[in-house]
Amino acid sequence: MRVLVINDLSCVGKCSLSVALPIISACGVTCDVLPTAILSTHTGGFEGYTFRDLTDDLPEILKHWKTLGIKFDFIYSGYLGSIRQIELVSILKQEFLAEDGKFIVDPVMGDDGKLYQGFTEGYVEKMRGLCKEADYILPNVTEACLLAEHPYPVTKENAREVLNKLAEICPFPIVTGITVENDVAVYYTKRGRGIFSFTHENVQGFFCGAGDVFASAFVGCLANGIHEAKAIYLASEFTAKTIRRSAREVDDKRYGLSFEKEILGFLDSLLFS
Ligand code: PXL
């Protein structure tokens, strides 16, 4: 089983590849990587970070992979550094996804109702196009509103409307981080046939990389043949546990989630569920 993760490498501040690699590998499957950019830290709350865009390297990497004849059972894309990278991911999916393979897009673009630094309206439009090619999309509330062209935020009351709009873009949207009273929920639908959710107690404070922990665990479950609804449940349980642990252990939330010590429990639930 081969999973390809397309994401940036933020050297400090656990997110993207530094989260996906350990979690997906721990699930017992090959995790190949395509780094989209190298940053000294992620962009969420750090000042003066470096950013090396790797767009120009990608065509050469793909050319080499073509000579190897490799195919991926899962392709999971996250933070893409430029509009050109979105186009390259689309080509990559067409050429390298195995016949029965699945394409998972985390449309990383923003949080808290705002686009991340460096992202534009044109980028949102292009990302909507990539989501149309995906089997699953995993937007947070901000990204769901941007994709569905719906006013921020997603709530318990309007979740059905937003999810149905998203289902017109991709058959299986999974929206994370919806605040429901004192809880936080993940809502999903398959082709708009019913709206389902899992809820956890909300922990104060925003952790960069929480979406990456969720998405990586979800992909790790799918790669183990776990049914999608169960995969969402296990990934949200795992993410909630890492958030609760981090609230106790991590002083500066920019440095990311303390997910490492929760991996064993997650694997236990994955293997013996
Ligand atoms: O986890 C989302 C993310 C990924 N990659 C980079 C980021 C962020 C969020 O800020 O800055 C570089």
Task: Tell me if 170 sits within 8 A of 178, measured CB to CB.
Answer: no
Task: Tell me if 75 sits within 8 A of 6, measured CB to CB.
Answer: yes
Q: What whole-number distance in Å separates Cα of residue 127 and Cα of residue 70? A: 26
209 phi-psi bin (left φ>0, alpha ψ -120 to 50, beta other):
left
Whole-angstrom CA distances from 237 to 53, 99, 114, 218, 242 are 34, 31, 26, 11, 9
* Residue nearest ligand 1's atom 10 by CA: 44
Atom of ligand 1 nearest to the CA of 116: 10
pLDDT at residue 33, as a whole number = 98
pLDDT at residue 211, as a whole number = 95
pLDDT at residue 239, as a whole number = 96
CATH H superfamily, domain 2-271: Ribokinase (3.40.1190.20)
pLDDT at residue 186, as a whole number = 97
Atom of ligand 1 nearest to the CA of 78: 4
190 CA → ligand 1 middle, Å: 27
pLDDT at residue 208, as a whole number = 87
Atom of ligand 1 nearest to the CA of 39: 12
Atom of ligand 1 nearest to the CA of 45: 10
pLDDT at residue 117, as a whole number = 83
pLDDT at residue 205, as a whole number = 73
Q: What whole-number distance in Å separates Cα of residue 47 and Cα of residue 102? A: 36
To test the ligand 1 pocket, which listed residue (6, 7, 8) has its Cβ within 8 A of the most ligand atoms? Answer: 8
Tell me how far apart the 2 most distant CA atoms of the chain are, in Å.
53
pLDDT at residue 204, as a whole number = 76
Whole-angstrom CA distances from 211 to 33, 84, 92, 174, 201 are 18, 23, 23, 11, 16
pLDDT in tens, 25-68: 999 999 999 999 999 999 989 999 999 999 999 999 999 999 99
Q: Which residues of 169-206 are buried (b: 16+ CB within 10 A; e: fewer)?
A: bbbbbbbbbbebeeebbbbbbbeeeebebbbbebeeee
pLDDT at residue 115, as a whole number = 94
Whole-angstrom CA distances from 22 to 63, 151, 216, 247 are 27, 36, 9, 21
To test the ligand 1 pocket, which listed residue (15, 39, 40, 216) has its Cβ within 8 A of the most ligand atoms? Answer: 15
Residue ranges of the chain with pLDDT lower than 50? none
Tell me which residues have their CB closer than 6 angstroms to ligand 1. 8, 10, 15-16, 39, 42-44, 79, 108, 116, 208-209, 211-212
The pTM assigned to this predicted structure is 0.98
Q: What whole-number distance in Å separates Cα of residue 10 and Cα of residue 52? A: 10
